Amino acid sequence: METENEGEFEPRIVAFLCNWCSYAGSDVAGLQRMKYPPTVRIIRVMCSGRVEPSFILEALRDGADGVLVGGCHIGDCHYISGNKKCVARIALTKELLKQLGINPERLRLEWISSSESGKFVKIVEDFTKDLKKMGQNPLKSLE
């Protein structure tokens, strides 16, 4: 499917979306028949606080070009503060990615409320574009 030409390839994004805000927001994008690139594969978690750094590393190791973590806005987490824990973990994971020689921009944390379907779509579009610029996940060619 993917060609060697970096500009042409279709990146693959793994998205972890919290049930209450971001997943709901992605559903609303569907309800409103918004269109976005077919690059994202969504995994539902109850809260962004469930997302372990190892999930992100696993996704990248398996060949995902980017990882998106979506949660409720700070202060709105359905479980009070899970998203604050998530912030800390994402910062750490980004550091780790740097150490591993992976562009930390391949990991994105975004707050998407259940009404922000437009924001969700825009994030997928922008992330796809940026990943195209970044090129394929370097770990992919190792295999």
Partner 1 sequence: MDKERIGVFLCHCGTNIAHTVDIGKVKKYVETLPGVVFVKDYSYMCSDPGQRLVKESIKENGLTKVVIAACTPRLHESTFRETLREGGLNPYNLEIANIREHCSWVHDNREIATEKAKDIIRMAIMKAALLEPLEEREIEAVKEVLIVGAGIAGISTALILANSGIKTYIVEKEPSIGGKMAQLDKTFPTLDCSACILTPLMVDVERNPLIEILSYSEVESVEGYIGNFKVKVRRKPRYVRKDLCTSCGLCWENCPSKNVPNEFDLGLSTRTAIYIPFLQAVPAIPVIDAENCRYFQGLKEGKERCKICQKKCPVNAVDYTMEESFIELEVGAIVVATGYEIFDASQRPQYGYGKYKDVIIGLQFERLISASGPTEGGIIRPSNGQIPKSVTFINCVGSKESDGNQWCCRYGCMASLKQALQVREKYPEVEVNICFTDMRAFGKGYEELYRRCRKTGINFINGLPSEIYETYGEGKHLYFTVFDGFLNEVIRIDTDLVVLQVNMVSPKETGELVKKLGLCTSGDGFFQEAHAKLRPIETPTPGVFLAGTCQGPKDIVDTVCHAKGAGGDVLKLLQKGIIKIEPISAEVNEELCSGCGMCEPVCPYGAIVIEVKEDGKRLAKVIQAKCVGCGTCVATCPSDAIIAHNFTTEQIIAQIRAAVSP
Establish if 79 lies at the interface with ligand FES (CB under 6 A): yes
Least distance to ligand FES, CB of residue 110, Å: 11
Least distance to partner 1, CB of residue 58, Å: 5
Establish if 50 lies at the interface with partner 1 (CB under 8 A): yes
Cβ-contact 65, 12 below 8 angstroms: yes
**Which of 2, 9, 34, 136 is close enough to bind partner 1 by CB under 8 A?**
34
Least distance to partner 1, CB of residue 101, Å: 19
Closest to ligand FES by CB, 40 vs 51, is 51
From partner 1, ligand FES, none, which one binds at residue 72 (CB under 5 to 8 Å depending on kind)? ligand FES
Per residue, what are the HEC states of the chain?
A: CCCCCCCCCCCCEEEEEECCCHHHHHHHHHHCCCCCCCCEEEEEECCHHHCCHHHHHHHHHCCCCEEEEEECCCCCCCCCCHHHHHHHHHHHHHHHHHHCCCCHHHEEEEECCCCCHHHHHHHHHHHHHHHHHHCCCHHHHHC
Which of 38, 44, 24, 53 is CA-nearest to residue 113?
A: 24
> What residues between 3 and 32 interact with partner 1 by CB under 8 A?
12, 14, 19, 23-24, 26-27, 29-31
**Which of 39, 57, 69, 83 is close enough to bind ligand FES by CB under 6 A?**
83
Interface with ligand FES by CB under 6 A: which residues? 18, 20-21, 47-49, 71-72, 77-79, 82-83
